[in-house]
Chains A and B, each alone.
Chain A
Amino acid sequence: MAALTEEQSMLKDQASAWVVEQSPVASFREMRDSGVETAFIPTCWQSMVDMGWTGILVPEQYGGSDLGYLTFGVVLEQLGRQLAASPLFASALVGASAVLIAGSDEQKQSLLPKIVDGTEILTLAVDEGAHHAPADLALRAEASADGFVLNGTKTLVVEGMSATTLVVAARTANGITLFVVPADAPGITRQRLTMLDSRGYANVAFADVAIPASAVLGTVDQGAESLDAILDRARAGLAAEMLGTAAQAFDLTLDYLKTREQFGRVIGSFQALGHRAAGLFTSMELTRSCMEAALQAIDAKAENVPEMCALSKCKVGDFLHEMSNQLIQIHGGIGMTDEFDAGFYLKRARVAEHLFGNQAFHRERYATLLGF
Chain B
Amino acid sequence: MSESSELSDFRESASAWLSENFPASLAGKSVGMEGESVAALGDDLTAWRQRLAEQGWGAPTWPREYGGAGLSHPQVKVLNQEMEKVGAFNPIPMMAGMGVTMVGPTVLEYGTEDQKLKHLPGIASGEIRWCLGLSEPNAGSDLASLSTKAEDNGDQFVLNGQKVWTSGADISQWCGALVRTDSKAKKRDGISFVMLPMDQSGVETRPIKLIAGASPFCETYFNNAIAEKSDLLGKLNDGWSVVKRLLQHERQSQTGARGPSGAKPVPLQEMAKKYVGTNADGTLADVDLRVRLASHLMDSKAHGLTIGRITAEARGNVEVSAAASILKNSATHVAQTKSELTMEIMGAQGLGWEGAEFSSEELGSVREWLFGKAMSIYGGSFEVQNNIISKNILGLPETTQKG
Chain A interface residues toward B at CB < 8 A = 1-3, 254, 257-258, 265-266, 268-271, 273-275, 277-279, 281-282, 285-290, 292-293, 311, 314-315, 360, 363-364, 366-368, 370-372
Main secondary structure of the interface of B (DSSP, over half): helix
Binds A, one of B50-58, B125-133, B395-403: B395-403
Cβ-based interface call for B100 (8 A): no
Given contacts A2-B313, A286-B302, contact A370 B291 (CB under 8 A): no
Question: A304: nearest residue on chain B (CB-CB)?
Answer: B301
Minimal Cβ-Cβ distance residue in B for A293:
B305
Would you call B297 and A370 a contact (CB within 8 A)?
Answer: yes
Which residues from chain B contact A292 at a C-beta distance below 8 Å?
309
Contact call A3/B313, Cβ cutoff below 8 A: yes
B interface residues with partner A (beta carbon < 8 Å):
269, 272-273, 278, 282-284, 290-291, 293-295, 297-299, 301-303, 305-306, 308-309, 312-313, 315, 323, 326, 329-330, 383, 385-387, 389-391, 393-400
Q: Which residue from A2, A274, A277 sits with its C-beta under 8 Å from B399?
A: A274
Given contacts A275-B383, A288-B309, A292-B309, contact A372 B302 (CB under 8 A): no
Closest 8 pairs between A and B when the two form their complex, measured CB to CB: A274-B390, A278-B389, A289-B305, A278-B386, A269-B397, A289-B306, A268-B396, A367-B294
**Cβ of A281 and Cβ of B298 under 8 Å apart?**
no
B390 touches A290 (CB 8 A): no
B386 touches A270 (CB 8 A): no
With CB as the reference atom, state the residue of chain A lying closest to B309: A289
Asked if residues B306 and A315 are in contact (CB atoms below 8 Å), the reply is no
- Ordered by A's residue number, 12 sampled pairs between the chains whose C-beta atoms are within 8 Å are A258-B396, A268-B390, A269-B397, A271-B387, A278-B389, A285-B323, A289-B308, A289-B309, A315-B302, A363-B298, A368-B283, A371-B282
B contact residues around A2 at 8 Å (CB) = 309, 312-313
> Residue on B with the closest CB to A310?
B298
Which among A278, A281, A367 has the greatest number of chain B C-beta atoms within 10 A? A278
Q: Are A266 and B298 in contact (CB under 8 A)?
A: no
A99 to B313, CA, bound (A): 33
Given the known interface contacts A287-B302, A314-B298, the answer about A371 and B396 at a Cβ–Cβ threshold of 8 Å is no
Which B residues lie within 8 Å of A372 (CB)? 269, 272-273, 278, 282-284, 290, 293
CA distance A257 to B394 in the complex (A): 10
- Docked complex Cα distance between A268 and B308 (Å): 31
The closest CB in chain B to the CB of A4 belongs to B313
Contacts of A274 in B (CB 8 A): 386-387, 390-391, 394, 396, 399
- Chain B residue numbers with a CB within 8 Å of A314 are 298
Given A279-B386, A285-B306, 14 other A-B residues pairs in contact with their CB atoms under 8 A: A2-B309, A3-B312, A274-B386, A274-B399, A275-B386, A281-B326, A286-B306, A290-B305, A311-B301, A314-B298, A315-B298, A360-B291, A372-B272, A372-B278
Name the A residues within 8 Å of B395 (CB-CB): 258
In the bound complex, what is the Cα–Cα distance between A231 and B125 (angstroms)?
53
